[in-house]
Structure 1
């Protein structure tokens, strides 16, 4: 079983289902404090926690107490986890109570990237040279943008003005930069050309 897994897929494709099963498989092997699941949003982190509890409770229920849809879901969960771990169904189901207890009584690390980074920064704040009770605030884009503009050379500033003029949809340079920031991944590797040609 691979220790690290990254799931990248579109909305509604079953990422949470896959990751919740993966988490339960890892829970069979280790303590929750040693397992980390990182998401982009609090909503996704909460959904994953809820799904794990739901799946663990589903594994605990006997098939005769489940409707056809739930039996099929339980079968899919068991199949995925057993394949991942290389164990049989009975081995997995015999551990369900232990898994539920481990999950509910330990510090669970299912969180956003921001929360994870903050946790690390607080733990090692002394070595980074700041207080552990720091606050995280919003970045004032206007101030950063003004500082950026102050640092530009005259020819660089003129080039930005030319770009903004050619792109009529931008009402200001700040809007241009916000749009570029949002599309950063698409722009990686793109070489810029002189727009004055």
Structure 2
């Protein structure tokens, strides 16, 4: 039976497409008492994703909506919205959800939907960010958490974590470095959201009522 305290907790829905490592980081932070919230549901668009079983192993409610079963992005997103709304979330968290969202979907959850992206935005929108940073000769790379808007990877940046790019790094080793920072950064931002400290007003991210710089808050370094 759900306690009164649990009923009052902010509700999070997490969208995944793969292993869901950031989903696990958030769920583990909740279990450890670092975030006072609950994962109301996990939704995955790939029935073969490893994250489905990982979520079930933690007794998280899981719903699978295979995007291949829909003839249009609009139809798929409508099904997603119906599923998300069924969990009545206060916050929607994209955690490796590899789908481009339609404007109607984004508008429905704008201001309460965040995403994590493996680059120091505004650098390297889209895919293959680790290799692109290496190819560009960058000395630093990292991860950004941002609000989701209709512009792909273009919403207000909330926070970033920076890692160094060493001579011996390849895309895989750099990915591992970045993921270590992701698993620290994302739970912090989710905590801010669930505490009501983090808001988006007029297209600007604010923490405790103060505007966040366009490059986001720098929370960690390596």
TM-score w.r.t. length of structure 1: 0.26
1 or 2, which has the higher strand percentage?
2
TM-score w.r.t. length of structure 2: 0.24
